[in-house]
Amino acid sequence: MKLSFSTRGWNDITWDGCLDIAEEMDFAGVEVYNLTQDRFYGKGEAFNRYNIAATTRQLRDRKLAIPAFYQKCDPADPNSIEDIKKVIDAAGYMRVDNVGMVFETNDEQAIEKAIEQLLPIARQADVTLLVATQGLYSDTKKLCSLLDGFADDNLAALWDLHHTYRSGGEEPKDSIRNLGAYVRHVHLCDSDDRDTYNLIGEGSAPIKEFMDALYSIDYAGFISLEWKPEYMEDLDDYEVIFPYFVNYMSRFRNTRGKKKMLYPNHDGTGQYVWKKDELINLTFSQVLDRMVEEFPDQYCFKYTTLDYTRTYEEFRDDVNDFAKALMSLGVRSGSKVAVWATNVPAWYISFWACCKIGAVLVTMNTSYKIHEAEYLLRQSDSHTLIMIESAVDSNYKQIINELCPEIASAKAGAPLHCKKLPFLRNVITVGFRMPGALTFEEAMARCSQTSDAELEKMASQVRTDDVCNMQYTSGTTGFPKGVMLTHYNVVNNGKCIGDRMGLSTADRMMIQVPMFHCFGMVLSMTASLTHGATICPMPYFSAKSSLACINQERITCFNGVPTMFIAMFNHPDYKKTDFSYMRTGIMAGAGCPPELMKRAADPNEMNMRGIVSVYGQTETAPGNTMSSWTDPLDVRTETVGYAFPHVECKVIDPETGEEVGVGENGEFCARGYNTMKGYYKMPEATTETIDSEGWLHSGDLAARDENGNYRITGRLKDMIIRGGENIYPKEIEEFIYTCPKVKDVQVIGVPDKRYGEEAMACIILKDGETMTVEEMDEYIKSHLARHKVPKYIEFTDSFPMNAAGKVLKYKMREDAVKKLGLE
């Protein structure tokens, strides 16, 4: 975010004086109020038609900006409307993004008529009209309704905290929930409960909550100080007021350094660019540029089931072309681009293209149905949707036609207007055609409409702390939350994961985990492409295709959830597969039985001698702890390793918040460079997850050993409390897994009238094995304490899972309660 001040009220300061103040006091811009007054527009003044070109050059030379022109507007006064038109013309000429308007009437019909008159002119000038949250629209629901009604990219909101909080009676979290991505510019001042103005930070306006709300939408625009000398009779000196504002707001900023190096890998067969365990201050686009600089002819992508093979340089060409195509479709910095697809080439091209221009890729679970898709696309304010026709048992084409019937009569490539999804402007299809949508190839062909110079200008403005990705948590209660991850979060977490896997240009990573999940996007793609490795994606998981890929491409590493490993072990082609080139890989995403990991590590099995596990959550981009591929096997298979560099970890008593001792169970907490920016439009949920000291509370139960390695023992919510005894499902699962007849097991808690809760074990036996409930009960009783022995044992063929391969324990609990009659 950048700071500016408004010229409103400072009539004695010349335009040149305003620019001097901005430079001297560390403002990034000056907001111009009432441009058409003689002070600015009169003969010989800065914005007169004869001087406006010189003023534009002056701003550029001083590296200052005008974030917005701001005018009062009386829809009933033709002169007022004409003034706004003049301001729009000036903004278009000077490339000022926004023209703010405060309407001096409560006549909604008159306001709508004025906007209808002004919008075509704004579109022509490529200027966004901003309706201020003042007067009638200090009620942001009313403003949102107005904006939704027009659903136009050139109409948005100017959020003035003072008016929404004092006049509208709204908390910032409520205002941002209503306005979301409509907020393009903001005004800030402080006041007390008597509506008396104060220096910033000295009143009672909820400034921190206001900033949290802006962070929750990854707002990257200007915060403009709105102050007039008459606000405080005894203080009218800008030399006090302006520096005070800048100093106070500096607490909401941060900076980071950068470093880069080039090194040989462990056996001299490959190279990697950056020194291990050090953070880099680069965007995704800059990472790709560096890979092209060092390894232009190294294969970046090699599909075995689709016709797509690219070197790093060729892949960057695809990315740049699609980035220009997205720009031609109105995608800009901060725009949300949702991708609803399996691991097809378009997914990767779209992600890196969005990163190039500062847009945000929103991941969509491939198993979503209409209810979840509507929620995500609306909650994320998605501007563009890129999708395949269908996957799993969801027909995306049918869903989008139902959500957006307007698409059937829309012109492909023209801005879409959809009542249910007011931000959605484009739909791009991959592998099929649909009325009103461009195919991926047709969209790519639009790249010629944007110049390379325009692309590089936009790319140069992307910051490492900009959000690049929003992933929606698959929570078991409430609506999913959009986790905002920055370039800095994801690039560095992927790099650190690749460091601990020992990745380099010598590696060939097969990616079979879904890209809509961090396991695919960060642990697989980003870990590989920050180390110059080659990736061989599978569009979707198939044990047969994965085993064939390992043979064909001499794969050195791959990642997967336990069920993927089990499926590969059990496939008829497993014994025909050559694992001699295999070196490392990650088993994660669900409880990882040590015996399964050790089998994968066995030279006579998968030969994954450097197998590791990673622990984290989406909110930490996602990794917190991990062992190195060279650590002892028991560390790699029986723990989730130790903290990543530059990440602090601790285990606390969830009741007291105090750190517990070695070996004791408690809640796992972490803080560091990998912590999310927040939940999109949910500042309250963000503060519930990240405490005032920056610690992210995971909700997971863990214990740390004397060497700093962590074991995950369950979820706070999964923990079973039986008659006052804490029972950790993972402990029971790991024991049951030692039974040679058991293929997989999940332990859940179910209600009990006497003890509150009892344990239930749901078990899948290996093919051809049989076992009775009584036999399993005896096996457990002979090894575990009585209170840990599950009261219920059930043999089953499968567990309910989401598309990322995670077992849905909440679903298992619901089914068990019904089946056992425990409701």
Nearest one of 545, 547, 604, 544 to 580, comparing CA atoms: 604
CATH number, position 363 = 3.40.50.12780
136 and 237 share one domain: yes
Is 627 inside a domain boundary? no
What is the rounded average pLDDT of the residues 207-231? Answer: 91
CA–CA separation, 247 and 795 (whole Å): 64
Q: Which residue has the tokens 């004397």?
A: 706
Other C-beta atoms within 10 Å of 261: how many? 11
Residue 259 — pLDDT band, cuts 50, 70, 90?
very low
Q: What is the pLDDT of residue 260?
A: 45
Tens digits of per-residue pLDDT, 620-631?
999 999 999 999
480 and 352 share one domain: yes
Parent domain of 765: 718-820
Residue 234 — pLDDT band, cuts 50, 70, 90?
confident
Q: What is the pLDDT of residue 746?
A: 94
Q: What is the pLDDT of residue 802?
A: 76
CA–CA separation, 537 and 587 (whole Å): 17
Percentage of residues of the chain with pLDDT beyond 90: 79
359: three-class secondary structure by DSSP: coil
168: three-class secondary structure by DSSP: coil
Tens digits of per-residue pLDDT, 750-803?
988 877 789 999 999 999 999 999 999 999 988 877 888 999 999 999 999 876
Q: Are 187 and 159 in contact (CB under 8 A)?
A: yes
Burial 274-288 (b: 16+ CB within 10 A, else e): beeebbbbbbbbbbb
Strand order in the sheet with 756-765: 742-752, 756-765, 792-795
Nearest one of 119, 71, 66 to 91, comparing CA atoms: 66
Among the ranges given (197-211, 274-288, 555-569), the one the predictor scored with the smallest mean pLDDT: 197-211
Q: What is the pLDDT of residue 60?
A: 92
Among the ranges given (36-40, 54-58, 65-69, 141-145), the one the predictor scored with the smallest mean pLDDT: 36-40
Tens digits of per-residue pLDDT, 577-594?
999 999 999 998 766 889
Nearest one of 595, 608, 680 to 634, comparing CA atoms: 595
328 and 247 share one domain: no
332 and 472 share one domain: yes
pLDDT of 257 > 50? The answer is: no
Residue 453 — pLDDT band, cuts 50, 70, 90?
confident
Rounded to 10 deg, the angle between the 773-781 and 729-736 helix axes is: 110
706's tokens: 């004397």
Given 466, 486, 506, the domain boundary residue is 486
112 and 160 share one domain: yes
Q: Please state the domain count of the chain.
A: 3
pLDDT of 731 > 90? The answer is: no
Say which residues have a Cβ less than 8 Å from residue 334's Cβ, sequence separation at least 6: 181, 218, 220, 358, 359, 360, 466, 467
What is the CA 415 to chain-centroid distance, rounded?
A: 25
221's tokens: 């625009």
Q: What is the pLDDT of residue 494?
A: 98
Q: Which residue has the tokens 């001297």?
A: 24
CA angle 592, 598, 603 (to 5 degrees): 140
CA–CA separation, 465 and 293 (whole Å): 24
667: which strand partners? 652, 701
Strand ranges (DSSP E) for 388-488? 390-391, 394-395, 426-429, 438-439, 467-472, 482-486
Residue 254 — pLDDT band, cuts 50, 70, 90?
very low
311 and 245 share one domain: no
Distances (CA, A) of 86 to 12, 105, 661: 24, 21, 69
Say which residues have a Cβ less than 8 Å from residue 721's Cβ, sequence separation at least 6: 727, 749, 756, 757
CATH number, position 816 = 3.30.300.30
Q: What is the pLDDT of residue 803?
A: 65
pLDDT of 681 > 60? The answer is: yes
Q: Which residue has the tokens 């681009």?
A: 337
What is the rounded average pLDDT of the residues 90-99? Answer: 95
pLDDT of 346 > 80? The answer is: yes
Pick 731 or 461 by higher pLDDT. 461
Q: Are 411 and 436 in contact (CB under 8 A)?
A: yes
244 and 349 share one domain: no
| DSSP conformation letters of 653-701 | -TTT-PBP-TT--EEEEEEETTS-SEETT-HHHHHHHB-TTSPEEEEEE
Is 573 inside a domain boundary? no
Is 163 inside a domain boundary? yes
Is 262 inside a domain boundary? no
Tens digits of per-residue pLDDT, 348-392?
999 999 999 999 999 998 988 888 899 999 999 999 999 999 998
pLDDT of 476 > 50? The answer is: no
Burial 616-640 (b: 16+ CB within 10 A, else e): bbbbbbbbbbbbbbebeeebbbbbb
CATH number, position 86 = 3.20.20.150
Phi, psi at 785, each rounded to 5°:
-60, 150
128 and 211 share one domain: yes
Is 478 inside a domain boundary? yes
Q: What is the pLDDT of residue 806?
A: 77
First to last CA, the chain: 51
668 by Cβ neighbours in 10 Å (0-12 / 13-18 / 19+) ranks as buried
Burial 684-709 (b: 16+ CB within 10 A, else e): bbbbebbeeeebbbbbbbbbbeeeeb
CA–CA separation, 777 and 763 (whole Å): 12
Q: What is the pLDDT of residue 724?
A: 64
pLDDT of 474 > 50? The answer is: yes
Question: What is the sign, positive or negative, of the torsion defined by CA atoms of 362, 335, 249, 194?
Answer: negative
**The residue type at 740:** P
CA–CA separation, 621 and 483 (whole Å): 9
What is the rounded average pLDDT of the residues 608-612? Answer: 98
Given 430, 454, 486, the domain boundary residue is 486
Given 461, 486, 511, the domain boundary residue is 486
Is 642 inside a domain boundary? no
Q: Are 758 and 790 in contact (CB under 8 A)?
A: yes
Distances (CA, A) of 112 to 105, 150, 791, 814: 11, 9, 66, 50
Residue 343 — pLDDT band, cuts 50, 70, 90?
very high
CA–CA separation, 488 and 225 (whole Å): 29
207 and 285 share one domain: no
Q: Are 399 and 376 in contact (CB under 8 A)?
A: no
What is the rounded average pLDDT of the residues 9-35? Answer: 93
Is 565 inside a domain boundary? no
Tens digits of per-residue pLDDT, 379-435?
999 999 999 999 988 899 999 999 999 999 999 999 999 999 999 999 999 999 999
367 and 235 share one domain: no
**The residue type at 365:** N
Q: What is the pLDDT of residue 229?
A: 85
What is the rounded average pLDDT of the residues 680-689? Answer: 94
239 and 312 share one domain: no
What is the rounded average pLDDT of the residues 436-442? Answer: 98
Mean confidence (pLDDT) of the chain: 93
Nearest one of 565, 641, 551, 567 to 599, comparing CA atoms: 565
pLDDT of 452 > 70? The answer is: yes
Is 118 inside a domain boundary? yes
Q: Say how many residues make up the chain.
A: 823
311 and 241 share one domain: no
Q: Are 635 and 641 in contact (CB under 8 A)?
A: yes
CA–CA separation, 494 and 515 (whole Å): 14
Pairing verdict, β 271-272 and 263-264: antiparallel
